[in-house]
């Protein structure tokens, strides 16, 4: 498991994953040479970007549908 380095005085978020999931995250974080916190931040942001892409695609399809109706 990654070691905890220093104390953070900024904003924080808490999660309570099952131990097996936490261990999986820890192993992946170690492979990437990241702390668990850094790993979680990156994974959440990557997930948010994927959601944004899906929202954009849905809006584009809606726009195309409306354009076709206008023809």
Kindly report the backbone phi and psi dihedral angles of residue 60, in degrees, each rounded to the nearest multiple of 5, phi listed first.
-65, -45
Label residue 50 by pLDDT band (50, 70, 90). Answer: confident
How far apart (Å, rounded) are the C-alpha atoms in residues 42 and 22? 15
How far apart (Å, rounded) are the C-alpha atoms in residues 65 and 6? 53
Helices and strands (H and E) in the chain: how many: 2, 0
Label residue 17 by pLDDT band (50, 70, 90). Answer: very high
| Summary mean pLDDT of the chain | 81
Radius of gyration for the alpha carbons in the chain, expressed in angstroms and rounded: 19
């Amino acid at each position: 498991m990654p070691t905890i380095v220093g104390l953070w005085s900024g904003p924080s978020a808490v999660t309570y994953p099952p131990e097996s999931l936490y261990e999986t995250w820890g192993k992946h974080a170690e492979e990437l040479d990241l702390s668990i916190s850094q790993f979680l931040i990156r994974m959440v942001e990557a997930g948010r970007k994927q959601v944004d892409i899906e929202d954009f695609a849905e809006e584009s399809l809606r726009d195309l549908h409306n354009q076709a109706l206008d023809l």
